[in-house]
Amino acid sequence: TQYVYRFGGGVSDGGKGDRNLLGGKGANLAEMASIGLPVPPGFTISTEMCQRYYDEGQQFPDSLRSEVANGIAHIEAITNKKFGVAADPLLVSVRSGARASMPGMMDTVLNLGLNDETVVGLAAVSGDARFAWDSYRRFIQMYSDVVLELDHSAFEEALEIAKEDKGYNLDTEMTADDWQALVKRYQELVAEMWDKPFPQDVHEQLWGAIGAVFGSWQSERAKVYRRLNDIPGDWGTAVNVQAMVFGNMGDTSATGVAFTRDPSKGDRAYYGEFLINAQGEDVVAGIRTPQYLTRIARETAGAKPASMEEALPEVYGELAKVFDLLETHYRDMQDIEFTVQQGKLWMLQTRSGKRTAKAALKIAVDMANEGLITREEAVARVDPAALDQLLHPTLDPQAPRDVIAKGLPASPGAASGLVVFDAETAEKRAELGDAVILVRVETSPEDIHGMHAAKGILTARGGMTSHAAVVARGMGRPCVSGVGTLAIDAKAKVFRVAGREVREGDVITIDGATGEVMLGAVPTVQPELAGDFGTLMGWADQVRRLKVRANAETPLDCKTARIFGAEGVGLCRTEHMFFDAARITAVRQMILAEDEKGRRVALDKLLPEQRADFTEIFEIMAGLPVTIRLLDPPLHEFLPHEEEEFAEVATATGIGIEALKRRAAELHEFNPMLGHRGCRLGVTYPEIYEMQARAIFEAACDVAAKSGSAPIPEVMVPLVATRRELELMKAVIDKAAKAVFAEKGRTLDYLVGTMIELPRAALKAGEIAEVGEFFSFGTNDLTQTTLGVSRDDAGRFLTTYVDKGIYPKDPFVSLDVDGVGELIELAAERGRKTRGDIKLGICGEHGGDPASIAFCEATGLDYVSASPYRVPIARLAAAQAAL
């Protein structure tokens, strides 16, 4: 097997199609080299090697030695420099690069190849001793941290002391001699902490770095990132070894990162940051505040330091050409890293740029309109889950705000919450149910669990491409970064700004769209659904086959659902109407009644209320199908608990409190989820379902009479396990329909069907379909009963199950396609065999989960039903599943 793939100098052993083998970075370096862009020569060690490295106990096979030697020879030949030879030494970078981008999660070593001799050579050929010694000390510092795993603060401290001794404020004041002295000090530190001198053999350096990069694949932070982003642990990373180019060789040198379009708003404008006389990591690390790429961006921001367009116009022109070429070549927005070494442009990376949901939409729609991609491709480009960011409220423009600071609008959306200063506290308070805003000087990969737990992120340092900004955008968290006026004292848990003091636990609001930071909570408004969103959803609707309905029972939910494009109600949970404060006493009266007569008295009070509920829903849904599920939850859940509640029922019924308590004790259940619930209620107390069916048909007739457009009620029986149960309940429903139609003097079409949410129902679907005219898969209960895992208690152990790979994802969030999915397929098949035109849908939480929707498409269901805010996500996911 070949493990090493070269690129640069007219050679490209790989290309953009080799992402799995070479990682994203390696594949794109090879691709850029092959289309003639200036890429420093190098080679990629494949991800297959990473897998083998771990399989063989973190050892390299001998064959790799000669392959790497050939790779080095390739770089030497093109650069005309020699690795480890003082006269004109070759320096290389060693970087990770996995199949999926994992920003900042894995290790990098720069300036490798420097030792006590080559540093002298570098000083001579560059004519810049200061640069050479600075590069050497950077190398020792990085290598000690990443490869030798020594405590990096010792090196930072040594640098601080060296500056203090000389009375310097800035690194730039350090002279060649100062750096040389620091190198000596660093080497002493290494000898002390590592018990061995810093390696002088450049080959030993190289193999150490390669091992460290492969090793970083299994670092804790990389594992956390993979878990949060669903990246499999067995993919492995590639290692890229590449000739160094230097952005820190004076004022005609620079380094930067750029996007071919605005990654935050999606506008068609070059977008990026650069630093003159700096090395790559300086931009991302957020230590110096970077300068704008374009003049217009600088002017818009009212910033002083010259943009790249102004400071280095020729190279900027060249760069702009490269941007256009890359966008046309890759047909997507690109995220680029470049370095300018003494006026010459070098491309170090390109990849599809991460973007906000808003930008993703705009870019997809614009590119389709520009003819760069098709409409179907545009639909496929937008991650349905990311739409969540757009569907949630933004700050009410009318609301008063107490703005205390302004930073960069790093990731859109607005969030209010309690201020916390570290990731651990963020996680703890979020677990307790608090909304928190994580406030940091800058974030690092160690903070990601806290960023995930937080509602928003605020940093004092760092630009739009800082760690905080990139990660927050990826997670869909609002983020304001680079608020320079913020004085954070994380130890004392306080920050000060503009004469104000904000302590841990105080409430602030951040607006990731404007960069504003406000004291207190600011109210929000609903999002804008026209524009690009509407366009893309329209294109999605043209390609999808699955219908999308909503789970909704309140008028507000029904209206929201329609605004979001729902094509009906897939699940109206009638019990939600029973919990209403005005009705609960009548509900309790019904439950606690000793006999049918007592129950009917209470049900008579509930009938007009239910009828009014359904009337409103039918009116809002105007002729669209509405699935109404008859009472489902255990009676247990409605029982009174407080003294006061018993007293209310006693007054309403004239039954004594003691008698009521006795009855309540009789109704208590040990396992209510498997107890007296679902159609078992209808079987034991048919008058409940009779009342509900009557309310449905009366409402339907009234609306039909009033509006002329007849609603299509679909009456659904929950928790059916046998044909006979459904048969009994259908008889109750049909009888109520007949009675109402006779009274109202009109007949309406309606369907009677059932939830399939018990394994027995799935197995016996063939028989059940003899009675039921539709099935709706209740995958919440079906998951609970198939896995034997309580949906209400699973939180405590399911994360461990996912961590250990027992289930790939939480099966209550994303359908267990292997197990529960097989039951669904079987039920669909058996149901269809009995009744060819049986209507099939899903109404568990999975109906709004893109992966589960793909399964529903493959199984040929007719519709999915999701909560109103997830309806657009479901529409887009259904379209993607159909493509």
CB-nearer residue toward ligand PEP: 698 or 845: 845
What does the block give as tokens for 73? 């020879």
CB-nearer residue toward ligand PEP: 363 or 843: 843
Binding partner of 844, given ligand PEP, Mg ion, none, CB within 5-8 angstroms per partner class:
ligand PEP
What is the sign of the dihedral through the CA atoms of 449, 453, 457 and 460?
A: negative
Give least dist CB 860 to Mg ion, A: 22
CB-nearer residue toward ligand PEP: 215 or 844: 844
What mask of x and - would describe binding to ligand PEP in positions 725 to 764, judged by CB under 6 A? --------------------------------x-------
**Buried b / exposed e across 762-801, counting CB within 10 Å, b at 16+?**
bbbbbbbbebbbbbbbbbbbbbbbbbebebeebeeebeee
Give least dist CB 778 to Mg ion, A: 4
Give least dist CB 355 to ligand PEP, A: 34
Helices and strands, number each (H, E), in the chain:
36, 32
Q: How many C-beta atoms lie closer than 10 Å to residue 742's C-beta? A: 10
Query: What's the gap between Cα 186 and its chain centre?
Result: 41
How does strand 487-489 pair with strand 494-497? antiparallel
Give least dist CB 755 to ligand PEP, A: 7
CB-nearer residue toward Mg ion: 536 or 628: 628
**Residue 496 labeled ligand binder:** no
Q: How many C-beta atoms lie closer than 10 Å to residue 207's C-beta? A: 18
Q: Which of residues 764-783 bind ligand PEP (CB under 6 A)?
A: 778-781
Contact 710, 749 (CB under 8 A): yes
Beta-carbon contacts of residue 397 (< 8 Å; ≥ 6 apart): 525
Closest CA to 697 of 568, 607, 584: 607
**Residue 780 labeled ligand binder:** yes
Taking CB under 5 A as the criterion, the residue among 280, 640, 778, 872 binding Mg ion is 778
CB-nearer residue toward ligand PEP: 516 or 757: 757
Start-end of H helices in 259-374: 281-285, 295-301, 308-311, 313-330, 357-370
Clarify whether 467 is annotated catalytic.
yes
Q: Which of residues 730-769 bind Mg ion (CB under 5 A)?
A: 757
CB-nearer residue toward ligand PEP: 613 or 757: 757
Which range binds Mg ion by CB under 5 A, 310-318, 702-710, 769-777, 780-788?
Answer: 780-788
Taking CB under 6 A as the criterion, the residue among 227, 295, 573, 663 binding ligand PEP is 573
Query: What's the gap between Cα 300 and its chain centre?
Result: 31
Give least dist CB 645 to ligand PEP, A: 24
Give least dist CB 750 to ligand PEP, A: 21
Give least dist CB 756 to Mg ion, A: 10
The residue annotated as part of the active site, out of 74, 467, 636, 846, is 467
What is the sign of the dihedral through the CA atoms of 420, 424, 429 and 430?
A: positive
**Residue 604 labeled ligand binder:** no
Binding partner of 843, given ligand PEP, Mg ion, none, CB within 5-8 angstroms per partner class:
ligand PEP
Pairwise CA distance, residues 559 & 619, whole Å? 10
**Residue 512 labeled ligand binder:** no
Pairwise CA distance, residues 176 & 182, whole Å? 10
Q: Which of residues 371-430 bind ligand PEP (CB under 6 A)?
A: none
Q: Which of residues 648-687 bind Mg ion (CB under 5 A)?
A: none
CB-nearer residue toward ligand PEP: 466 or 779: 779
Binding partner of 273, given ligand PEP, Mg ion, none, CB within 5-8 angstroms per partner class:
none
Taking CB under 5 A as the criterion, the residue among 781, 845, 849, 857 binding Mg ion is 781
Clarify whether 843 is annotated catalytic.
yes
Pairwise CA distance, residues 344 & 310, whole Å? 16
**Residue 831 labeled ligand binder:** no
CB-nearer residue toward ligand PEP: 253 or 852: 852
CB-nearer residue toward ligand PEP: 414 or 843: 843
Binding partner of 511, given ligand PEP, Mg ion, none, CB within 5-8 angstroms per partner class:
none
Give least dist CB 700 to Mg ion, A: 24
What does the block give as tokens for 798? 């399911």
**Residue 9 labeled ligand binder:** no
**Three-state secondary structure string covering 824-863:** HHHHHHHHHHHCCCCEEEECCHHHHCHHHHHHHHHHCCCE
Binding partner of 779, given Mg ion, ligand PEP, none, CB within 5-8 angstroms per partner class:
ligand PEP
Binding partner of 573, given Mg ion, ligand PEP, none, CB within 5-8 angstroms per partner class:
ligand PEP
Give least dist CB 554 to ligand PEP, A: 15
Compute CA distances 701 → 440, 445, 615, 709, whole Å: 60, 61, 9, 10
Q: Which of residues 151-190 bind Mg ion (CB under 5 A)?
A: none
Beta-carbon contacts of residue 192 (< 8 Å; ≥ 6 apart): none
Pairwise CA distance, residues 94 & 215, whole Å? 13
Binding partner of 713, given Mg ion, ligand PEP, none, CB within 5-8 angstroms per partner class:
none
493: left (phi over 0), alpha (psi -120 to 50) or beta: left
Taking CB under 6 A as the criterion, the residue among 405, 571, 828, 864 binding ligand PEP is 571
The residue annotated as part of the active site, out of 50, 558, 572, 843, is 843
Structure-token match 């951040």, residue found: 510
Q: How many C-beta atoms lie closer than 10 Å to residue 137's C-beta? A: 27
Binding partner of 466, given ligand PEP, Mg ion, none, CB within 5-8 angstroms per partner class:
none
Binding partner of 571, given ligand PEP, Mg ion, none, CB within 5-8 angstroms per partner class:
ligand PEP
Q: How many C-beta atoms lie closer than 10 Å to residue 507's C-beta? A: 17
How many residues lie near ligand PEP (CB under 6 A)?
A: 10
Give least dist CB 843 to Mg ion, A: 8
Compute CA distances 452 → 472, 477, 482, whole Å: 8, 8, 19
CB-nearer residue toward ligand PEP: 459 or 779: 779
CB-nearer residue toward ligand PEP: 632 or 702: 632
DSSP bridge partners of 717: 754
Contact 192, 212 (CB under 8 A): no
Give least dist CB 573 to ligand PEP, A: 5
What does the block give as tokens for 568? 């009906």
Binding partner of 13, given Mg ion, ligand PEP, none, CB within 5-8 angstroms per partner class:
none
Which range binds Mg ion by CB under 5 A, 611-619, 665-673, 739-747, 775-783?
Answer: 775-783
Binding partner of 41, given ligand PEP, Mg ion, none, CB within 5-8 angstroms per partner class:
none
Q: Which of residues 6-65 bind ligand PEP (CB under 6 A)?
A: none
- The DSSP H or E segment spanning 729 is helix 723-744
Q: Which of residues 586-645 bind ligand PEP (CB under 6 A)?
A: 632
* Strand ranges of the sheet holding 4-8, from the earlier edge strand across to the other edge: 11-12, 4-8, 42-45, 237-243, 92-98, 108-112
**Residue 629 labeled ligand binder:** yes
Contact 383, 359 (CB under 8 A): no
Taking CB under 6 A as the criterion, the residue among 378, 603, 752, 843 binding ligand PEP is 843
Compute CA distances 613 → 9, 214, 755, whole Å: 73, 61, 22
Three-state DSSP class for residue 608: helix
Binding site for ligand PEP (CB under 6 A): 571, 573, 632, 757, 778-781, 843-844
Q: Please state the residue numbers annotated as binding site for Mg(2+).
A: 757, 781
Binding-site annotation, residues:
573, 629, 757, 778-781
Per CB under 5 A, residues contacting Mg ion are 757, 778, 781
Active site residues: 467, 843
Can you say which residues are annotated as belonging to the binding site for substrate?
A: 573, 629, 757, 778-781
